[in-house]
Amino acid sequence: MTSTDPALDGELPRQRLTVAEIAHLAGVSAPTVSRVLNGHAGVALATRQRVEAVLREHGYRRRDSEPAAIIELVFHALESLWALEIIQGVEQVARESGLAVVLTEMQGRLTPGRAWTEQVLARRPTGVVAVFSELTVQQQSQLATRSIPLVVLDPTGEPLHETPSVGATNWSGGMAATRHLLDLGHRRIAMLSGPTQWPCCRARLDGYRAAMDAAGVPVDPELVRVSTLYVEGGLRDGTELLRLPDPPTAVFTANDLQALGVYEAARRAGVRIPEDLSVVGFDDLSFTRWAGPPMTTVRQPLVQMGAAAARMVLALADGERLEQHRVELATTLVVRESTAPPRQVS
């Protein structure tokens, strides 16, 4: 059976549904189906959902012969050098392939809105890289039915089983940071985690706990704080930790921005780093080597992670099968001058 609608040109060979058949199954008109397929506005939400349900139920995939020469890159927020390094990695791979990068910032929201979805479907990019974002099942399905590959970098939740994702070895990074402090002789080691519902933060916290357990050092619940991944979170929680009757001699943070906040908390409290307090961050952003003192941190290969996600998108767009749907790049402990043995109390 042959479609008379250009919206279905390039349909995968196994697909036999025409626009008319989709319209019949969804109880809508053929022009309405075309508008949904092409991401056009002017379709009521309930109607759009009925059409999408038919597409999902029948495993529909369209393959346009010429997708737009762009990679969509979606961030929940663009507030630090962390995002810039990922952008650099994606842009390098895109440039090598003659593609441009379209950047969307969701102003702190984890899930893109309906307007973004419609715009992406209308642009028909080569693929989408979603960073620290959480696309809904419906949004992932909408991309899939248009054969727009999606790769998630540092997912904030558990992505669908078939959704490829890129991350780092967060657990071993957390363990290496904590083990470094233990090897220096610290026992009262605090941990500033990020939101523990996010897998990367939970893994870093679990790595900290595993290192403490392996060393036979009990974790004091007062020394573990769930903080925000910003300087303000490190300042607030670092201040509270230093005010404890028995404060920590070392702090491991879930990212470098938190560690910078701990630096400021120590400065205000008259606590010297590393003489009185050792601090370890996570990410190895460029400012860490210029901090006072230069910061010991866990290097997360952010540029390489962005590049890996972009390469996966391009491979999927070319119809290749991925050898791995989950890729984790190695972290590395970088020892600088913010860590030292604990001060001996006479």
Beta-sheet pairing, 296-299 with 332-334: antiparallel
pLDDT band at 251; cut points 50, 70, 90: very high
Q: What local confidence, expressed as pLDDT, does residue 142 receive?
A: 79
- Given a cut of 50, whether residue 5 has pLDDT beyond it is no
Q: What local confidence, expressed as pLDDT, does residue 147 receive?
A: 80
**Dihedral pair phi/psi, residue 174, rounded to 5°:** -65, -40
Tell me: cis bond preceding 301? Omega within 30 of 0 counts: no
Q: What is the pLDDT of residues 131-168, one digit of tens each?
A: 987 787 778 877 887 788 999 998 766 544 578 999 99
Tell me: cis bond preceding 274? Omega within 30 of 0 counts: yes
Q: What local confidence, expressed as pLDDT, does residue 346 receive?
A: 42
- Two tokens at 27? 């109880």
Q: What is the pLDDT of residues 42-101, one digit of tens each?
A: 667 677 667 666 666 665 655 555 678 999 999 887 777 889 999 999 999 999 999 999
pTM of the model: 0.79
C-beta atoms surrounding 271 within 10 Å: 16
Cα gap 85→283, rounded to integer Å: 10
- Two tokens at 121? 């479907």
Q: What local confidence, expressed as pLDDT, does residue 154 receive?
A: 83
Q: What is the pLDDT of residues 191-202, one digit of tens each?
A: 999 998 888 999
Q: What is the pLDDT of residues 263-299, one digit of tens each?
A: 999 999 999 999 999 999 999 999 999 999 999 999 9
Cα gap 150→229, rounded to integer Å: 26
Helices (H) and strands (E) in the chain, counts: 11, 12
Q: What is the pLDDT of residues 178-188, one digit of tens each?
A: 999 999 999 99
C-beta atoms surrounding 46 within 10 Å: 7
Q: State the maximum Cα–Cα separation within the chain, in Å, rounded to a whole number.
A: 88
Q: What is the pLDDT of residues 55-67, one digit of tens each?
A: 666 656 555 556 7
Q: Which H or E run contains 332?
A: strand 332-334
- Two tokens at 234? 């490190």
Cα gap 170→201, rounded to integer Å: 8
Q: What local confidence, expressed as pLDDT, does residue 11 receive?
A: 40
Higher model confidence: residue 44 or residue 302?
Answer: 302
Q: What is the pLDDT of residues 236-247, one digit of tens each?
A: 999 999 999 999
- Asked which of 36-40, 137-141, 166-170, 210-214 is least confident by mean pLDDT, the reply is 36-40
**Dihedral pair phi/psi, residue 160, rounded to 5°:** -55, 150
**Ranges of H-type helices in 165-222:** 170-183, 199-214
Cα gap 144→150, rounded to integer Å: 8
Q: What local confidence, expressed as pLDDT, does residue 26 receive?
A: 67
Give the chain's mean pLDDT: 85
Q: What local confidence, expressed as pLDDT, does residue 221 receive?
A: 96
Residue partners of 240: CB distance under 8 A and separation at least 6: 225
